[in-house]
Amino acid sequence: MWPGPSPLCCWMRKHGVSVKDLCWTRASTLGVRTAVIEERYLGGSCPNVACLPSKNLVYAAAVAHTMARYSRPGVGNDGAMKENISVKPLLRAQQHHMDGNAALQLDMAAVRDRKRRMVAGLLDMHKSVFASSGADLILGRGRLVGPHAVQVQLASHIESDGHGEGEAASGSEESQSNKTRMLTADHIILCTGSRANLDLGISGLEAANPLTHIELLDLDSVPRHLVILGGGYIGLEFAQVFRRFGAAVSVMERGSRMLKGEDADVSSALVDILRDEGVAFFPDTHVSRPFELSGSHLLVAGGRLPNTHDVGLQAAGVELTPSGHVKVDAYLRTSIDSVFAVGDCAGSPHFTHAGFDDFRIVRDVLLHKTPLRSTRDRHVPYTLYTDPELAHVGLTEQDAAKAGIEYRLATLPMAAFLRTRTMDATRGFAKALVGVDNDGILGFTALGPRAGELLPVVQLAMSAGLPYTSIAELIVTHPTMNEGLVSLFGSVPPRTT
């Protein structure tokens, strides 16, 4: 049993979790004794094998692409080889004195090592946060055995970015392999995350030893031909990265188009950009149809499944949804009053920032704050880190049409965001949906450089209930990307009533 008083808050974590350590360490600083059970990655998947490592590769790919783009003639403003030159070379490489070869070549092992150094730094940061927080870190696999009890199969170490071992944070509970501990707590928060879906109903897939994003992020050589199953956000992001690294890339998608959750004009525009860089797309690809495509590496990017198996949920009375997620209410309380669930396992949007907001909801419930936060009507933004970025918050046009919501539409080509002209990055556009009976902002999408940085301005106006004119009438620094928002919202059609 837990020595001394039972913790008021016990976090069960598992590989794939998306909520930051900041959550539970903040809980401990509020005077709540907090125990954290970590099975595999200190800090969760985001700093180890997901968000930050992948963005590390995105940056490396952008550097490689920029060097290539500005060191050879005949490159169009979309990065593809064109006969009509619109980007002149800015770099001149000297020929090697031996063989005359001036070509630049990517060092994939160096790319991986750079990523690993970043992850190691993040791990050190999380260790420091734990050590200074007072939260108790217990390494092992947690299993719910009652509404207030968790059994832990202890482990001796945790992993870091899929290739090494990480020690427990200083000040954490000492643990040993092949031993168990029983914890009791007033409240238990499930934070078990999600994993890549490898069950796609494709015969022979398992025998092909496919890669998930975890293995892909740790390659030390560039694939000759990367075949990607899935034309969603993960698939397209990695498609561009590895194409820029020099691999041939083919994306296979069962549906009629890529990024089916986005409006057709948005997904089409991004696919055109990636196709111009050399990525091959194969929509409407079904197992039942005769089709053959050979490649050297296979990435499965077919969605994610919640980590709700083998953690004792159903035996303890925690109900699951038909999709396997933990069933929660708007305050993230499960079917057991003392148990909450946050992040991917609760069916929240699969983003670290959504998981962090989930924590704030549970925190306010436990501290009896009023008014309570909830998952109702919250605006969860997201960004796809392709180049250009795809950023969105609120309703899409297809969302509005499905819900029968009328709207006024404003669109603006990215070339009208004048900062893009200084970066040779004018492809893309932005659009905003505004109510017809009021001036509230319903949704916003941007496909352009640094598009994700545009979201907070729009999101703040939406959350505060401000009219679109609050953005249209801003004085914004010139030339910045946010300056284009003034033009976009200044072009909203007037109300007809």
CB 119 within 8 A of CB 48: yes
Q: What is the pLDDT of residue 30?
A: 64
Q: 25 labelled as ligand-binding? A: no
Q: What is the pLDDT of residue 131?
A: 85
Q: What is the pLDDT of residue 159?
A: 57
Q: What is the pLDDT of residue 169?
A: 38
Out of 272, 302, 332, a domain closes at 302
Whether 417 and 484 map to the same domain: the answer is yes
Whether 136 and 213 map to the same domain: the answer is no
Question: Which regions of the chain are under pLDDT 70?
Answer: 1-9, 11-30, 72-103, 156-178, 287-291
**Nearby residues of 59 by Cβ (< 8 Å), 6 or more positions away:** none
Q: What is the pLDDT of residue 303?
A: 93
Whether 171 and 289 map to the same domain: the answer is no
Tell me the pLDDT tens digit for each residue of 146-155.
999 999 999 8
Whether 134 and 249 map to the same domain: the answer is no
Whether 287 and 315 map to the same domain: the answer is no
Nearest to 342, CA basis, from 323, 363, 321: 363
Q: Is residue 240 part of a domain?
A: yes
How many structural domains are present in the chain?
3
Q: What is the CATH number of the domain that holds 358?
A: 3.50.50.60
* Catalytic position from the list 157, 213, 325, 478: 478
CB 92 within 8 A of CB 71: yes
Separation CA 181–CA 154 (nearest Å):
7
Q: Is residue 482 part of a domain?
A: yes
Q: Supply the pTM of this predicted model.
A: 0.89
**What's the domain range around 64?**
1-197+303-378
Q: Is residue 496 part of a domain?
A: no
Whether 233 and 290 map to the same domain: the answer is yes
What is the CB neighbour count within 10 angstroms for residue 188?
29
> Cis peptide before 479, with omega less than 30 degrees from 0?
yes
Q: 484 labelled as ligand-binding? A: no
Q: 324 labelled as ligand-binding? A: no
Q: What is the pLDDT of residue 222?
A: 97
DSSP state of 102: -
Q: What is the pLDDT of residue 278?
A: 98
Q: What is the pLDDT of residue 289?
A: 60
Whether 446 and 397 map to the same domain: the answer is yes
Tell me the pLDDT tens digit for each residue of 422-479.
999 999 999 999 999 999 999 999 999 999 999 999 999 999 999 999 999 999 999 9
Separation CA 46–CA 53 (nearest Å):
8
Q: What is the pLDDT of residue 32?
A: 75
The C-alpha torsion from 286 through 290 and 293 to 297, rounded to 10°, is 50
**Residue 75 C-alpha from the chain's centroid:** 31
Q: 121 labelled as ligand-binding? A: no
Q: Is residue 72 part of a domain?
A: yes
CB 425 within 8 A of CB 388: yes
Whether 114 and 190 map to the same domain: the answer is yes
Out of 343, 378, 413, a domain closes at 378
Q: Is residue 497 part of a domain?
A: no
Q: Is residue 67 part of a domain?
A: yes
Q: Is residue 495 part of a domain?
A: no
Q: What is the pLDDT of residue 41?
A: 86
Half-sphere exposure of 28 (CA within 13 A, CB side): 21
Whether 298 and 308 map to the same domain: the answer is no
Separation CA 405–CA 436 (nearest Å):
9
Is residue 163 flagged as an active site residue?
no
Out of 242, 269, 302, a domain closes at 302
Q: What is the CATH number of the domain that holds 480?
A: 3.30.390.30
Q: Is residue 383 part of a domain?
A: no
Burial of 248 (0-12, 13-18, 19+ CB in 10 A): middle
Separation CA 325–CA 39 (nearest Å):
19
Whether 95 and 241 map to the same domain: the answer is no
Q: What is the pLDDT of residue 84?
A: 34
DSSP state of 200: S
Whether 235 and 154 map to the same domain: the answer is no
Q: 202 labelled as ligand-binding? A: no
Whether 322 and 404 map to the same domain: the answer is no
